[in-house]
């Protein structure tokens, strides 16, 4: 029993990116402003930058839970390190996230296990450190809120299934609804620094401004995407 308890305390952490293959679509609100193939290259840049952060973080096992099921090779080509690729399964977003966490925690025996979005342009190792540290210290669940009312990061050491039930995924109350659900279930919550994703042309303008204040190594692929615009990015 003592050996089993020691093994539980020393389970290795996992960070998993939840992603779509760039060529499979997404970012529909940008379609009126950015034509293909540049929109696909934007999706690829955001994912590549996220992979860079996770691969450089160290001391965790990196995963990508991806969709569609034939998109694994496309994602693997963007990764600067060896990542474990797992096809997403389940119905809505909540069911797919819960299935991924079950896979990581109950099947592969990782703890903490953290899911992050693939389109958080200013994601940094500090976000991941805060999340893993909070779970090791406090347990419960860790959440990184997004400016649109959702969250870009969620993690836990053990499954809390009720956090994914009856949530209006894609709405602007996902974060508050999740926190309310955690309170009702008696699950402690640690909040890490917030972030934002890129869904609209205003988000993209914001990224371009914010990158002027960030270290040059931050979001390298996205910086290249802006530079590669034939006439400069105007956000028109």
Which residues, 6 or more positions from 60, have their beta carbon under 8 angstroms from its beta carbon? 12, 13, 14, 15, 54, 128, 132
Residue with tokens 């992050």: 116
Instruction: Give the C-alpha separation, 53 to 74, whole Å.
Output: 18
Predicted pLDDT at 11: 87
Instruction: Give the C-alpha separation, 162 to 142, whole Å.
Output: 15
Superfamily classification of domain 2-227: Spore Coat Polysaccharide Biosynthesis Protein SpsA; Chain A (3.90.550.10)
Instruction: Give the C-alpha separation, 29 to 15, whole Å.
Output: 28
Predicted pLDDT at 235: 55
Domain locations along the chain: 2-227
The first and second tokens of residue 233, run together, are: 């990015």
Nearest by Cα to 45 from 214, 209, 208, 213:
208
Predicted pLDDT at 9: 52
> How far, CA to CA in Å, does 73 sit from each of 67, 123, 169?
11, 24, 28
Please provide residue 188's backbone torsions phi and psi, each rounded to the nearest 5 degrees: -70, 145
Predicted pLDDT at 6: 43
What does the pLDDT profile of the chain (236 residues) look like in tens digits?
333 444 455 689 999 999 999 999 989 999 999 999 999 999 999 999 999 999 999 889 999 999 999 999 999 999 999 999 999 999 999 999 999 999 999 999 999 999 999 999 999 999 999 999 999 999 999 999 999 999 999 999 999 999 999 999 989 999 999 999 999 999 999 999 999 999 999 999 999 999 999 999 999 999 999 998 754 455 54
Instruction: Give the C-alpha separation, 7 to 215, whole Å.
Output: 39
Q: In a 3-state reduction of DSSP, which class is residue 226?
A: helix
The first and second tokens of residue 157, run together, are: 């050491």
Predicted pLDDT at 230: 52
User: 179-190 burial, b for 16+ CB within 10 Å, e for fewer?
Assistant: bebbeeeebeeb
């Amino acid at each position: 029993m003592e050996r089993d308890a020691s093994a539980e305390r020393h389970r290795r952490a996992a960070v998993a990116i939840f992603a779509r293959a760039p060529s499979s679509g997404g970012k529909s609100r940008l379609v009126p402003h950015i034509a293909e193939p540049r929109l696909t290259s934007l999706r690829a840049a955001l994912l590549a930058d996220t992979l860079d952060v996770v691969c450089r973080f160290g001391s965790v096992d990196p995963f990508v839970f991806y969709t569609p099921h034939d998109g694994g090779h496309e994602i693997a080509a963007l990764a600067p390190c060896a990542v474990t690729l797992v096809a997403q399964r389940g119905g809505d977003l909540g069911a797919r996230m819960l299935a991924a966490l079950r896979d990581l925690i109950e099947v592969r025996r990782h703890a903490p296990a953290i899911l992050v979005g693939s389109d958080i342009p200013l994601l940094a190792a500090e976000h991941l450190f805060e999340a893993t540290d909070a779970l090791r210290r406090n347990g419960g669940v860790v959440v990184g809120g997004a400016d649109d009312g959702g969250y870009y990061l969620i993690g836990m050491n053990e499954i809390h299934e009720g956090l994914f039930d009856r949530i209006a995924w894609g709405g602007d109350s996902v974060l508050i609804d999740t926190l309310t659900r955690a309170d009702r279930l008696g699950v402690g919550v640690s909040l890490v620094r917030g972030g934002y994703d890129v869904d609209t042309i205003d988000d993209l303008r914001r990224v371009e401004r914010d990158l002027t204040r960030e270290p040059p190594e931050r979001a390298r692929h996205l910086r290249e995407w802006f530079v590669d615009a034939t006439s400069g990015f105007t956000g028109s």
